[in-house]
Amino acid sequence: MGHTARPEDDIEAKLDEINKRTGRNMVQAVVTGALLVILVVASLIFNTQIFLWLVIIFVCIALWELRVDFSTIGIRIPLIPLIIMTVGTLAAIYYVPAQQPALTAALGCTITAALSVIFSCFENFKSAKVERSLSQKAPHSKNNIEHIELEHSRLTHIGATLLAVFYITVLGSFIVLPVTRDHPVAFEFMVIFLPSLGDIGGLAFGAAFGKHKLSPRISPKKSVEGLIGSVLFSAIGSFVIGVFAYSHTQFAQHVVELIILGICVGIVGLFGDLCASMLKRDMGLKDMGTLLAGHGGVLDRVDSILMCAPVICILIMALGL
């Protein structure tokens, strides 16, 4: 007698195919994403101060992840000073009464960069033994590990520190800035959810229609069709947020600007993801961390948000939204 295929087997086969095409466990990714959405929405609706400290916690975890990732190639950054000064910068943007919170952000980021470089200069850097797996060279040996002695110049450590300041502190400041403007909830929805919608659109269109690779060398999973999906989902998301954020008259005045903003977010978010992929490839990593099931680490989840946040803030001010 022939074996009859069960519906459950077909579903599992389809899920496996989707997971292979996206490079993620999509069930875990959806569940984790839904929980994060609930957490962010609740904090924004009930108290923006809760949202601020949620951002600060995620930023601190991101700095820790970046330190661990850099250590895999023998590069060290001054974690504790970076955390202290980054927390101070983000808190100052929210709490310090100022007519121009952007100036507070700029001052805080400049001080963070300067002091971080000073700490890097006085730190005693020694060559680091880095464990690298040789499984690609000898697949039959799972525990085949080599110890590589790596020694970098002081300028390399300083450069990595400045990269951490720019990538986390400077870009993270643009996540907090919209809270200080009119329509803070709507603008934070744009900053947090438009890049995420772009990611969802990219995954959906890439998994369903992806045939033309966008950048095979940097990220083999990214496709032109995924880029189209990112732009489409982000534009729709910006349009919907505008419907709820503005009166009918204001929405009619800004509908074109909202769509332009969504298109820009879709493009910048995907290329921000490519930049993060290039950084991970140079360090020999698949993910920046393992904290978020189905997403990797915090940096894997927020890379497109970090890159899009300044674009959204600048466009909001430039387009008069």
- pTM, two decimal places: 0.76
Residue 1 in domain:
no
Q: Residue 75's pLDDT is what?
A: 82
In sequence order, the 6+-apart residues with CB closer than 8 A to the CB of 254 are 242, 246, 319, 320, 321
Contact 175, 191 (CB under 8 A): yes
Residue 317 pLDDT > 70: yes
Contact 231, 266 (CB under 8 A): yes
Q: Residue 25's pLDDT is what?
A: 57
Residue 33 lies in domain: 19-318
Residue 126 pLDDT > 60: no
Residue 94 pLDDT > 70: yes
Q: Residue 186's pLDDT is what?
A: 82
Burial 221-253 (b: 16+ CB within 10 A, else e): bbbebbbbbbbbbbbbbbeebbeebbeeeeeee
In sequence order, the 6+-apart residues with CB closer than 8 A to the CB of 310 are 171, 174
Residue 42 in domain:
yes
Rounded to an integer, what distance in angstroms lies between the CA atom of residue 311 and that of residue 318? 10
Question: For the chain, how many structural domains are there in total?
Answer: 1
Contact 22, 221 (CB under 8 A): yes
Residue 193 in domain:
yes
Kindly report, residue by residue over 255-268, the tens digit of the pLDDT.
888 899 989 988 88
Residue 149 pLDDT > 60: no
Residue 269 pLDDT > 50: yes
Residue 313 pLDDT > 70: yes
Residue with tokens 């732009």: 231
Residue with tokens 């087997």: 9
Q: pLDDT grade, residue 139 (50/70/90)?
A: very low
Residue 13 in domain:
no
Residue 296 in domain:
yes
CA distances to 99, 105, 143, 150 from 93, in Å: 11, 6, 48, 39
Residue 147 pLDDT > 70: no
Q: Mean pLDDT, to the nearest integer, of 90-115?
A: 78
Residue 16 pLDDT > 80: no
